[in-house]
Amino acid sequence: MNQPANKISTPLRYRFQRARTKYLPIAFFLAACAGCVFLLQFQNRTIVQVGEVEAVDYTMTTPLAGFVQWATHDGDKMPVFADVTKGQVIAGLDDQPVRKQLHVIKQQVLALGEFATSRLAVLAGPASRGQASDWVGVSGPRAGAGPEDDSESRNAQAEAWQALSGFAELSMKQIRQCEQKLELRKIDSRLRSIESVSSDGLQNSPPTAEQQNLQTQRLKIAGDLQRLAAGILAEETLAVEEMNDVDTDNLLAADQILFRQRSDRCRFIAEQMVSIAALAESLDIVSPARGQISKAFVRSNQSVQQGVPVATVTPSSGAWVVVYAREQGIVRPFAGMPVTVGLLRDPRQKFSSTVASVGPKIESIPGRQRSNSRVEEWGRPMRIAIPSNVEIPPGSLVSVAFKTE
């Protein structure tokens, strides 16, 4: 059957225009609804908040009273904002107070050694047996002792004074070790000052005659310290055991009193040596972390008391991120909650971590972390640990995404 002559077919492009006008709005509406549902589900699973990187500033103080021997490379004052590395010496104190304490202890040790030597010399002499018999007759507790008891007393005396002599020898080695460490410290400080002066001038300049001489002295002292350390390690336990194993019951009454007095003095000397060695090690004030000197409080040749602040070092990398769990956000924050942290300046740099701790109460959120700095917001502070391989300057703002599932 033929098509009527009065019916005209619609061109294809007009058909597309009609379909676009009729069905395209419906398609856009359905796509928008699906996007809203997706975003709503995503928002329910993840909450993104702004946090701030923080670090602890280290303030070093003087371990004892004295003079600041030197404060920086130039020997005048520590430059603020100067870069420092972990373990770098920032300032040093004069070692004269430690040397005075060493001198006092050294005199006491020498007196102990001379006393022990004199007592051993008396025991080794030909008249020692007669003297021992006289001591036995007037000692009270051992009156009427026979020859065998006399021999036991002589052996006990020899053991006691040999133990005292061994302790004195060990203490002298420890004193010598401390003195050598002080000399090594003085050489190192001089080398640092020379190197700083040379670095301000020519780069890669050859060492001077003074540097070569100091390096030679340093090698010699370092070798002596190694030998002293080996000798002390081998004799320390032996000397202490000998002092503790002395049988004082077989000593004469007078010798018992003398040995107890010297034993108490030995314990005092041992405690003092530990304290002096610790002070000698702390004379050099070193940087605890890599960063910059943010504050300087002293100059070279300045007299300071114990506990006076020397400098403040601000680390170059933060230790944690502080973020607040807002009242309308995370309902129950807890330690161990997984998070994803990203830099605001470069969102591509992200790392995963966990909440290290949660604050005990709700506090006011700092203005930098609010969506509107003029509107007061409240939340519980949380600390997020920063991995050791991630370096973020303190004060940086970061985005913190919490998984609420």
Return the closest-CA partner of residue 168 out of 104, 262, 257: 262
Among residues 234, 260, 281, which one ends one of the domains?
Answer: 281
Q: Does residue 121 sit in the same domain as residue 267?
A: yes
Confirm whether 300 is domain-assigned. no
Of the pLDDT bands very low, low, confident and very high (cuts 50, 70, 90), residue 234 is confident
User: Which tens digits make up the pLDDT trace of 83-96?
Assistant: 889 988 888 898 99
Look-up: residue for tokens 């856009």? 28
Most confident region among 164-178, 329-343, 363-377 by mean pLDDT? 164-178
Whole-number Å distance between alpha carbons of 24 and 327:
42
User: Domain count of the chain?
Assistant: 2
Residue 201 covered by a domain: yes
Which residue(s) pair with 83 in the sheet? 292
pLDDT band of 221, cuts 50, 70, 90: very high
Residue 68 CB contacts under 8 Å (≥ 6 apart), including other chains: 91, 92, 93, 94, 298, 299, 300, 301, 302, 304, 310
Min mean pLDDT across 99-113, 126-140, 232-246 is at 126-140
Q: What is the CA radius of gyration of the chain?
A: 39
Residue 334 class from Cβ within 10 Å (0-12 exposed, 13-18 middle, 19+ buried)? exposed
Is 109 within the bounds of a domain? yes
Tokens 């909450």 locate to 47
State pTM to two decimals: 0.67
Q: Is position 5 within any domain?
A: no
Q: Is residue 155 part of a domain?
A: yes
The answer to whether residue 306 sits within a structural domain is no
**Does residue 220 have a pLDDT over 90?**
yes
Report the 10 Å Cβ neighbour count for 386: 22
For every residue of 294-359, DSSP letters joined together read: EEE--BTT-EE-TT-EEEEEEESS-SEEEEEEETTS-SS--TT-EEEEEESS-TT-EEEEEEEEE-
- For the chain, give the percent of residues with pLDDT over 70: 78
- Which helix (H) or strand (E) segment is 232 a member of? helix 209-244
What CA–CA distance (Å, rounded) separates 170 from 152?
Answer: 27
Contact in structure between 52 and 322 (CB atoms under 8 Å): yes
Look at 10 and 244; give whichever has higher pLDDT: 244
For the ranges 217-221, 230-234, 305-309, the lowest mean pLDDT is seen at 230-234
* Residue 132 confidence (pLDDT) above 50: no
Q: Which residues contact 111 (CB under 8 A, 6 or more apart)?
A: none
Q: Does 270 share its domain with 189? A: yes
357 falls within a domain: yes
Higher pLDDT pick, 373 / 106 = 106
Task: For residues 112 and 176, state if they share a domain.
Answer: yes
Does 248 fall in a domain? yes
Residue among 159, 163, 130, 160 nearest 147 (CA):
130
Task: Provide the domain limits for residue 399.
Answer: 45-56+317-403
**Tens digit of each residue's pLDDT (9 = 90 or more) over 76-128:** 667 788 888 998 888 889 899 899 999 999 999 999 999 989 988 888 765 54
Per-residue confidence (pLDDT) for residue 75, from 0 to 100: 53
Last residue of a domain, one of 281, 304, 339: 281
Indicate whether 245 pLDDT > 80.
no
277 and 136 within one domain: yes
What is the pLDDT of the chain when averaged over all its residues? 80
